[in-house]
């Protein structure tokens, strides 16, 4: 694992991709990343059933197309997402950047938040074992409350994990924009992951402060959980175990109507997915946008915007 290769295609034949600086970490990563929540399957809350061979084919295709940033969490599929990444990336680990998270304790009964320093250290060890790695490139607290961000014991263990080489960078995956603001105020996170898409642009208010402090913004759910692809109607049929089924009819009616209006802004030959990704990538403060992927077809669509015109940014 490690920093992304240069923008030019590598000797292994990876496709040309836009590369951006990941805040003050010193790493440079592909501007579109692979969100690995979906490949965790239906054992835990996620996006419904999956096929492991299809999931690993999606991961390998993403690497082939030049994706170097893979975002997962120990709770995705209760470890299954990390396990699949470890298997799929085994032969192509060089130049690939893996980010994982901890903070939801599913090991000791029903899942619950747990940010105890000893637990975070232990949870990272379990993640490294599943990822078949000695270190992870980015270790993120998963939806921590503000009090955790300012807890000196938590900060101390994160700094110790960096000093020991078990995590090369540390950050926060925030549940809300407000939580992301407190993460920036805490000062120690090198990256902050936050929801950001055309239907929820509120995170833009954080970008100037993040840029001033050298914090890499990881924009997640750029497609609004698939709504902005234009593939869903106001009454979608969702697979068992898909968390989107929890949303009511009012949400789907409002969100799909808004997505249909926004689709009119597509450029000639541009799909709604590409429009949604372009919206996020036009902000130089964004280091990487993470798109959820479960299949090779989704990988091809999500990376198509990058392949249409690679860029390099230090923002």
Can you give the three-state secondary structure of the chain, one letter per residue? CCCCCCCCCCCCCCCCCCEEECHHHCCEEECEEEECCHHHCCCCCEECCCCHHHHHHHHHHHHHCCCCEEECCCCHHHHHHHHHHHHHCHHHCCCCEEEEEECEECCCCCCEECCCHHHHHHHHHHHHHHHCCCCECEEEEECCCHHHHCCHHHHHHHHHHHHCCCECCEEEECCCHHHHHHHHHHCCCCEEEEECECCEHHHHHHHHHHHHCCCEEEEECCCCCCHHHCCCCCCCCCCCCEHHHHCCHHHHHHHHHHHHHHHHHCCCCCCHHHHHHHHHHCCCCEEEEEEECCCHHHHHHHHHHHHHCCCEECC
Residue positions counted in the chain = 315
To the query of whether residue 107 is one of the catalytic residues in this protein, the response is no
Residue among 47, 76, 104, 196 flagged as catalytic:
76
Distance separating alpha carbons of residues 258 and 76, to the nearest angstrom? 29
| Residue 54, both tokens | 């299809």
Is residue 222 classed exposed, middle or buried when 0-12, 13-18 and 19+ CB atoms within 10 A define those classes?
buried
Closest C-alpha to 60, from 84, 32, 30: 84
Distance CA 104, CA 143 (A): 9
Residues acting as catalytic residues: 76
């Amino acid at each position: 694992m490690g920093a992304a290769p240069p923008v030019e295609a590598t000797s292994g034949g990876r496709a040309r991709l836009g590369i951006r600086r990941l805040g003050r970490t010193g790493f440079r990563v592909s501007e579109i990343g692979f969100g690995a929540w979906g490949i965790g399957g239906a054992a835990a809350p996620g996006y419904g059933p999956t096929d492991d061979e299809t999931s690993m084919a999606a991961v390998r295709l993403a690497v082939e197309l030049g994706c170097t940033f893979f975002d997962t969490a120990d709770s995705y599929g209760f470890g299954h997402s990390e396990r699949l990444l470890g298997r799929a990336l085994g032969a192509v680990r060089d130049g690939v950047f893996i980010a994982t998270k901890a903070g939801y304790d599913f090991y000791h009964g029903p899942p619950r938040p747990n940010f105890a320093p000893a637990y975070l250290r232990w949870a990272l060890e379990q993640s490294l074992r599943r990822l078949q790695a000695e270190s992870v490139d980015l270790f993120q607290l998963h939806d921590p409350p503000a009090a955790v961000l300012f807890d000196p014991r938590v900060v101390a263990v994160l700094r110790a994990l960096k000093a020991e080489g078990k995590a090369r960078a540390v950050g926060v995956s925030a549940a809300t924009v407000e939580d992301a603001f407190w993460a920036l105020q805490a000062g120690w996170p090198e990256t902050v992951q936050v929801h950001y898409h055309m239907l929820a642009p509120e995170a833009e208010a954080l970008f100037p402060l993040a840029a001033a402090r050298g914090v890499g913004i990881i924009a997640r759910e750029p497609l609004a959980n698939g709504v902005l692809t234009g593939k869903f109607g106001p009454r979608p049929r969702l697979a068992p175990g898909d968390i989107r089924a929890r949303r009511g009819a009012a949400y789907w009616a409002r969100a799909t109507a808004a997505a249909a209006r926004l689709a009119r802004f597509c450029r000639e030959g541009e799909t709604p997915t590409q429009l949604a990704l372009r919206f996020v990538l036009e902000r130089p403060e964004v280091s990487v946008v993470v798109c959820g992927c479960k299949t090779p077809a989704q990988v091809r669509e999500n990376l198509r915007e990058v392949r249409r015109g690679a860029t390099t940014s230090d923002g």
